[in-house]
Structure 1
Amino acid sequence: MSATAEYTYRLSRVLDAPVENVWAAWTQPEHYAQWSGAVLPTISLDVRPGGAWKATMATPDGQEFPLTGTYGEVVENEHLEVLMDLPGGASTAMVVDLTAVDGKTEIVVSQACDSAQARDMSEQGSRMLLDGLAAYAPTI
């Protein structure tokens, strides 16, 4: 990843769900489809270092676009590095950190990007993901 610290974002929330449920929501296709905007059966999540993932995302207006990538560092119920393939053979990493707090989960999502525009778009997407996750994780 060649992104600089100048174009980073960090989002934090406390979710009303135990860390195991939040981990399941990120790592199990049947859960991931419920909150991320990804479409079953296009979701494949091989959650281990070097494991591949793919999903076709659907926008509210019905457009679909495929995403692919791999996982970097994986520590169950604590840390997930999600590498996403970019055009031209590059990739970008979204880091998800989970901390158990009195039966709830503090989640921190961060990413370094190559430009202010990429950062702003990624941050907007991550906010939408966290909104969906916050609504879904307590239902698991």
Structure 2
Amino acid sequence: MSTEQNGFSYTLTRTLDAPAAQVWQAWTIPDQYAQWAYAVPGTVEMDVRPGGTWKATMRTPEGAEFPLTGSYIEVAEHRALTIGMDVPGRPDPATMTVELTQQGPRNTVITLHQTCDTKEERDGAEQGSNMLLDGLTGFLSDGAKD
């Protein structure tokens, strides 16, 4: 049986040049999410509340597309999201926690944490999460120049 203690986990932390409310909107408004999260425009649907569902079709840098679905497990506006991701052949969703800590008017620390079943799954998820954070950082810095 896999538990949090014996799983393969990672934690990524970045400081973003944006207030927590702006970071929250980037994660929870479909049009914004599609701009930075490698999602195909028009495929993102989000019902951001505990038990609400989400779906998006992601596009890899190579152009391959794959649909993702899941649900929101915990929602604390402007502070934390626990997102469940459906995994084919797995009874329970994989979960990722997104935590936001505002440290000044335009500084928010974002922390992503996920525990996976295997080292390979963790390495792939960590690589994907780093790509997401890179996209989010670029999206927020582009928006700050408007």
Q: Which moved more, 1:82-91 or 1:36-45?
A: 82-91
Q: Distance in 1 between matches of 2:18 and 2:26?
A: 11
* C-alpha deviation, 1:40, in angstroms: 1.8
Q: Distance in 2 between matches of 1:45 and 1:113?
A: 24
Question: Within 5 Å, which residues of 2 pair with 1:103-114?
Answer: 103=105, 104-114=107-117
Amino acid at match of 1:34: Q
* C-alpha deviation, 1:137, in angstroms: 1.8
Amino acid at match of 1:58: R
SS in structure 1 of the partner of residue 57 of structure 2: strand
Q: Distance in 2 between matches of 1:102 and 1:75?
A: 19
Residue from 114, 119, 123 that aligns with 1:120: 123
Question: Within 5 Å, which residues of 2 pair with 1:1-140?
Answer: 2-5=2-5, 6-88=7-89, 89-103=91-105, 104-138=107-141, 139=143
Q: Distance in 2 between matches of 1:86 and 1:3?
A: 17
Calculate the TM-score normalised by the size of structure 1: 0.95
The number of residue pairs the alignment matches comes to: 140
Distance 1:63 1:21, change over 3 A: same
Give the structure, 1 or 2, with the largest relative contact order (CA under 8 Å, sep 6 or more): 1
Instruction: Identify unmatched segments of 5+ residues in structure 2.
Output: none
Q: Distance in 1 between matches of 2:130 and 2:3?
A: 20
Amino acid at match of 2:111: V
Report the aligned-residue RMSD. Answer: 1.4
Identity, % of aligned positions: 51
Which structure dedicates a bigger proportion of its chain to helix? 1
* C-alpha deviation, 1:3, in angstroms: 4.7
Q: Distance in 2 between matches of 1:91 and 1:123?
A: 17
Instruction: Identify unmatched segments of 5+ residues in structure 1.
Output: none
Q: Distance in 1 between matches of 2:73 and 2:140?
A: 23
* C-alpha deviation, 1:61, in angstroms: 1.4
